[in-house]
């Protein structure tokens, strides 16, 4: 019975055979869940150890790739690595060549907790510091990626709800290690808000994983939101997502579209409100006009009453009444009715028999003349 001969290799040949086997039998790219241990830079390359708690493997990010990373990990960070195997034939050394690094959910949540706790201690998360939104802003700034479906939804919603509002679009990156760019853009808009007439800012990003939203947990972005000169509405990710920027913003919306709905009034409701105001103003105008007409009528009546001809007429009537009264009370009136006036020789009016004696000469005044009479008898009344 014969057996196949045992292969004989040199060290180089053996290592090359192992490398070929790995190259043929292993995926060219893969995802790796790991914890980063002791990352360090050497000549621009980032070296680290990846661990799952039970096993470890070395990994490297070449300098050319490091500049394109969306997240540069720190010691202890949980990450998801996109990588491929590197096998050095010369020393039979196996490592992971890292093509991309994304923070794991545990790392994202830890950053969220750390930053939010620090800002809460400074009072930046206090609901009392949140500012009211403008009722119908004339101009707003929208900070989001360009182009993007989120921007399209924002512009469409703005045009549908309140087309009178001008929208200034400020492009920002929303993926990767772009915290500094977002904070810089927010600061620039805040500094120019008054000159540009900006009354509010919308900070928006479309859907994605919670790990993709980690940039908005950045302390730099959160502080830029808190320091903005005008109210900030955040619309980041999905309804269930919450970032530190959401907590600091003056209003958190579930989605980018919801952010625009929260900021801009509904033109249909505005039209109904204007119709109600128009009716109310019409009623007020009619009431005021009626009141003014009544006042004018009263003034006209007063002017008529105070017209000189009316005053003269009333004065004439009054004088006629007084004249009739005087005529009714005058002695001539009584003389005409048969009464007489009796005067003594001194010209005094005699009103009592006690003022006369027998033999006195008295003067009797009638309506048409005077009689002189001699008193022959004086008879007192009962």
Residue that is last in its domain, among 215, 231, 265: 265
Q: How many CA atoms lie within 13 A of 147 on its CB side?
A: 2
Calculate Rg over the CA atoms of the chain.
Answer: 55
CB atoms within 10 A of CB 248: 27
Q: Does 244 fall in a domain? A: yes
Whether 91 and 220 map to the same domain: the answer is no
- The answer on 197 and 64 residing in a single domain is no
For residues 382 and 378, what is the distance between their CA atoms, to the nearest angstrom?
13
Q: Is residue 196 part of a domain?
A: yes
Angle between helix 105-121 and helix 219-226 axes, rounded to 10 deg: 40
Residue 21 has pLDDT above 70, yes or no: yes
pLDDT at residue 2, as a whole number: 60
Q: Give the whole-angstrom CA distance, residue 187 versus residue 184.
A: 5
Is residue 174 a contact partner of residue 215, using CB atoms and an 8 Å limit?
yes
CA angle (110, 112, 115) in 5-degree steps:
105
pLDDT of residue 283: 92
Domain span at 362: 340-374
> How far apart (Å, rounded) are the C-alpha atoms in residues 50 and 57?
5
What's the domain count of the chain?
3
Residue 242 token pair: 């919450």
Tally of CB atoms within 10 A around 232:
29
CA 8 to chain centre: 82
How far is residue 293's CA from residue 269's CA, in Å, rounded to a whole number? 36
Same domain flag for 77 and 160: no
210 vs 100 pLDDT, higher one: 100
Q: Which tokens hold the place of 64?
A: 């050319």
- Do 238 and 144 reside in the same domain of the chain? yes
DSSP string, 1-22: ---PPPP---HHHHHHHHHHHH
Instruction: Tell me which residue has tokens 């007192």.
Output: 380
Q: Is the pLDDT of residue 240 over 80?
A: no
What is the average per-residue pLDDT within 123-128?
Answer: 93
Predicted structure pTM score: 0.59
- Note whether 115 and 244 are same-domain residues: yes
Q: Is 131 helix (H, G, I), strand (E, B) or coil?
A: coil
Whether residues 122 and 66 share a domain: the answer is no
Is the model's pLDDT at 130 over the cut of 90?
yes
**Confidence bin at 359 (pLDDT 50/70/90):** confident
pLDDT of residue 371: 86
Q: Kindly state the average pLDDT of the residues 234-253.
A: 90
């Amino acid at each position: 019975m014969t057996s196949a001969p045992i292969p004989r290799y040199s060290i180089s040949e053996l290592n090359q055979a192992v490398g070929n086997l790995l190259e043929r039998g292993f995926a060219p790219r893969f995802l790796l869940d790991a914890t980063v241990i002791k990352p360090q830079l050497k000549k621009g390359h980032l070296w680290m150890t990846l661990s799952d708690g039970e096993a470890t493997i070395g990994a490297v990010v070449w300098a050319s790739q490091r500049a394109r990373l969306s997240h540069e990990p720190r010691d202890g960070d949980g990450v998801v690595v996109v990588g491929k195997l590197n096998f050095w034939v010369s020393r039979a050394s196996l490592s992971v060549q890292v093509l991309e690094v994304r923070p794991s959910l545990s790392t994202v949540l830890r950053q969220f907790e750390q930053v939010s706790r620090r800002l809460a201690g400074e009072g930046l998360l206090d609901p009392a510091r949140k500012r009211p939104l403008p009722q119908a802003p004339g101009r707003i700034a929208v900070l989001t990626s360009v182009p993007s479906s989120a921007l399209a939804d924002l512009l469409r919603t703005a045009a549908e709800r309140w087309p009178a509002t001008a929208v200034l679009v400020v492009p920002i990156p929303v993926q990767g290690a772009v915290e500094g760019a977002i904070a810089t853009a927010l600061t620039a808009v805040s500094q120019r808000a008054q000159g540009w007439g900006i009354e509010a800012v919308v900070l928006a990003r479309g859907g994605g994983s919670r790990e993709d939203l980690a940039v908005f947990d950045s302390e730099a972005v959160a502080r830029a939101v808190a320091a903005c000169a005008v109210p900030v509405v955040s619309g980041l990710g999905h309804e269930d997502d919450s970032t530190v920027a959401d907590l600091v913003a003056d209003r958190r919306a579930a989605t980018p579209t919801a952010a625009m709905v929260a900021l801009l009034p509904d033109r249909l409701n505005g039209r109904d409100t204007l119709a109600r105001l128009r009716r109310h103003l019409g009623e007020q105008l009619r009431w005021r006009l009626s009141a003014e007409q009544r006042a004018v009528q009263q003034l006209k009546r007063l002017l008529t009453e105070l017209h000189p001809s009316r005053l003269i007429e009333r004065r004439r009537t009054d004088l006629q009444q007084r004249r009739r009264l005087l005529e009714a009370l005058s002695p001539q009136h009584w003389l005409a009715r048969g009464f007489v006036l009796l005067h003594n020789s001194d010209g005094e009016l005699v009103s009592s028999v006690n003022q006369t004696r027998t033999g006195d000469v008295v003067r009797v005044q009638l309506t048409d003349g005077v009689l002189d009479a001699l008193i022959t008898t004086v008879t007192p009344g009962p």
